[in-house]
Structure 1
């Protein structure tokens, strides 16, 4: 009897294991079919449109060398990191560890100024010794310039850089601004999803950036750029890199003067030249207020991630900054914030001399892309732009020109509400036609088109830094 019972038990166990393996493989096959359908749907829409022949794009300001290193290699976890705290200006190793822990545990991107030059130089020297370390072209403007050039645009870049750094730009990108003896360095501390650092586990792949810039805060290429703009006559002017002014010890009134010159340069552009302002990680409330009052009103288009959207939203509504936002916000929440920001900025701009009408918002998150454009505005191909932005997110982070579904996943919900308002319609994710677009009339505002595209999130991140710049540029390239 015992022997028979053993044989029956063994058979039952074997069947259970077989069934488990069968359903796991079946589930994997279904998942692959689903991911492949989404991929094909995105690619099909992306291919429907191309960049307008010889579209001219001018981009400012600044450049740097990015030094990439695994955060866990450079920063050794110790007791200071057990007490996360935010510091706007980092001057000691303890402040660095506390601030890194503050953002790492949330998987939130951040960029901070290190006022202690000796500390920063030591960190750079230590990073250069790490096996994970490598240098690359950095700065919002050069990264965006490279992407626009790759997409087929004629590009003018405002930046001061050494000859060596300029050689890393794609041939054909024209640089104005002059030379420097030494390029600013940005130290990019990257980490993977589910990476452990001491007692913390990162919820998503991201990066923490620190710098001690001496050139970029002054936007020193501005004047030379202005002279070339008159001859270049761009279809699009992109203003970026202004976060380098964050926390820098300017002389009284000096930063305000530089911002005023940037504003004047934007005002001087023909109405045929559209202007895009690319947001970034800001920490100083005063600077973000100055941008909201003195730079943003003169842009037609704004680009940002979920953290930067929350910062702008809180600045305009409440006069403060949100240091850490939800790293994977629901679509409905982001869309409502976009509508609110659009209404508020549109109303404010009506009372500002020489301001422009805001006609485009692009928010890129880990899970999806959301683009809002005013109907009958010059912005075209919103659906294709959302598709291209989504695919670029995966291609850049994975470091591949092709999307590998074995290295991707969907984290966007199966369906989403268009607003948190009760009774708002739900939109299902159709894997065969994954981009959802619809028209609506904003309260006391114009008719707009909104497009939402899912992102095939890269599972094994190659590089997160520069992701937003590549995504924004890719989307814009199909809309100018």
Structure 2
């Protein structure tokens, strides 16, 4: 080959490389500009809405959460040969097979450990990891703190233990009686997108929670909390933490009686006080059926994630539970499920104190969806969806300032409104990124807000509680 041909070939290669890098850099600039437009538009909406004089009561319970990277505990263990589902954990084999199941699916889960020795050994292993840390946990304290951060006045149903009083937000009043010196511990294993454990790989960042809690499942703060509700006069009562009852070894009939006690507290609220039920990781079919009978019919609003919505849909429609679901569902799929849940809830038999669910909030990795009845008191739907989406990034990144360098969007350029044939489609507009529209002759309003997904994950646990609270506080 002549020198001229060699030089010509080399020049062609250089041109291709330069063109490739220019194209990639140009593409990155376009993506960054799009993210910047989306963020600026959403921040503008958020700045226009502030929390007024709102009183919110939040139940039930509190615990000490210990956070640790799953790899720092499970990494020293041989991964299981297969995955398996268990309602509760009695052995290390149960734990590894169950952890691998949800880890590989990228789904959050929470389970009760009936083996105290195993649980204490796991706590010791977690605390021995230098990067592990603890924080006040439980649905109720997390939501209460978020409400207080946003400016609401808050009453929390939790025992007044030293740890709770030390770590709760100063704007939260704790009203659940005196607690023990030792707090119940919940162990949270977190993992990031792409992490591997043997042949198992996590498709998204998430967490796996275990506990051996013998106090919170009984809703022990309920009665003393109730004594303070009348004078507090909340605009909103939030019911949460009931997943602690899942597969807990209650004596026969006790769990149902405690659920009835929660129901009775809900029915004592005046109609001017709205009630929100925050769902969580429920796996026991019988518990979900009881919730559908004793709790959900007495709530105005429900909050859930992409796994909890299919569970509720399945229990209402088919009477069973779906353990694993799509970690990144399409908008059309969840909208159809939300519409059907609205329809099925409307058919529940009316009893004394019965309320009609007029608000559903679904929080997913990629987007927030809030569906309300237009003639209900819920307001600021667009702002609420926007606030929830922004809070998702802030919580996971652990930073109040959202950085587009640590963010990405998973939503496509548009989404269909339903899986039904002929359904309309909404195209994404980066300058007006939150889409709202009316359905059912103007009776229903739906808003979809894209999440600027955090790519520098600090923590995933408690994300749903922060997101739900941030959306709720603007709608009361």
The verdict on a shared fold, with TM-score over 0.5 as the criterion, is yes
Native 8 Å contact 1:88 1:283 kept in 2: yes
Which of 454, 457, 472 is matched with 1:458 structurally? 454
Aligned pairs for 1:389-404 (under 5 A) are 389-404=388-403
For each residue in 1:330-381, what CA deviation from the matched residue of structure 2 results, as whole angstroms up to 9, or x when unmatched? 00110110010011011114x3332101110000000000000101211000
Does residue 233 of structure 1 match 2:229? no
Distance 1:77 1:282 in 2: 29
Deviates more, 1:217-226 or 1:433-442: 433-442
For each residue in 1:388-420, what CA deviation from the matched residue of structure 2 results, as whole angstroms up to 9, or x when unmatched? 000000000000001111111010121111111
Q: Structure 1: 5+ residue runs without aligned partners?
A: none
1:67 corresponds to = 66
For each residue in 1:33-90, what CA deviation from the matched residue of structure 2 results, as whole angstroms up to 9, or x when unmatched? 00111111111111221112x2000000000011000001111375562200011110
Native 8 Å contact 1:415 1:427 kept in 2: yes
Distance 1:228 1:277 in 2: 20
For each residue in 1:437-468, what CA deviation from the matched residue of structure 2 results, as whole angstroms up to 9, or x when unmatched? 001117xxx81100000000011211100000
- Corresponding residue SS for 1:96: helix
Native 8 Å contact 1:77 1:197 kept in 2: no
Native 8 Å contact 1:161 1:182 kept in 2: no
Native 8 Å contact 1:415 1:426 kept in 2: yes
- Corresponding residue SS for 2:361: strand
Native 8 Å contact 2:288 2:315 kept in 1: yes
Native 8 Å contact 2:160 2:174 kept in 1: no
1:448 corresponds to = 444
Per the normalisation by structure 2, the TM-score is 0.98
Distance 1:2 1:142 in 2: 76
Native 8 Å contact 1:77 1:198 kept in 2: no
- Corresponding residue SS for 2:347: helix
Native 8 Å contact 2:194 2:204 kept in 1: yes
Native 8 Å contact 1:71 1:189 kept in 2: yes
1:41 corresponds to = 41
Native 8 Å contact 2:57 2:154 kept in 1: yes
- Corresponding residue SS for 1:135: strand
- Corresponding residue SS for 1:167: helix
Distance 1:165 1:355 in 2: 33
Aligned pairs for 1:193-272 (under 5 A) are 193-272=193-272
1:296 corresponds to = 296
1:435 corresponds to = 434
Native 8 Å contact 1:216 1:244 kept in 2: yes
Distance 2:69 2:149 in 1: 28
Native 8 Å contact 1:80 1:94 kept in 2: no
Aligned pairs for 1:25-36 (under 5 A) are 25-36=25-36
- Corresponding residue SS for 2:307: helix
Distance 1:2 1:81 in 2: 60
For each residue in 1:180-229, what CA deviation from the matched residue of structure 2 results, as whole angstroms up to 9, or x when unmatched? 12111110000001111111111100000000001101101000111100
2:183 corresponds to = 183
- Corresponding residue SS for 2:448: strand
1:280 corresponds to = 280
2:383 corresponds to = 384
- Aligned-pair CA distance for 1:292: 0.8
Distance 1:245 1:9 in 2: 70
2:85 corresponds to = 86
For each residue in 1:294-315, what CA deviation from the matched residue of structure 2 results, as whole angstroms up to 9, or x when unmatched? 1000000000001000110001
How many residues are treated as equivalent by the alignment?
475
Q: Structure 2: 5+ residue runs without aligned partners?
A: none
Native 8 Å contact 2:79 2:96 kept in 1: yes
Distance 2:356 2:164 in 1: 37
Runs of 4 or more consecutive aligned structure 1 residues displaced over 4 Å after TM superposition: 77-80
Aligned pairs for 1:288-327 (under 5 A) are 288-327=288-327
Native 8 Å contact 2:64 2:135 kept in 1: yes
Does residue 467 of structure 1 match 2:463? yes
- Corresponding residue SS for 2:56: strand
Distance 1:161 1:460 in 2: 35
- Aligned-pair CA distance for 1:132: 2.5
- Aligned-pair CA distance for 1:131: 2.3
Distance 1:239 1:225 in 2: 12
- Corresponding residue SS for 2:341: helix
Distance 1:466 1:298 in 2: 25
- Corresponding residue SS for 2:449: strand
For each residue in 1:105-145, what CA deviation from the matched residue of structure 2 results, as whole angstroms up to 9, or x when unmatched? 01000001100011000000010011221101100000000
Per the normalisation by structure 1, the TM-score is 0.97
Deviates more, 1:352-361 or 1:385-394: 352-361
2:360 corresponds to = 361
Native 8 Å contact 1:64 1:161 kept in 2: no
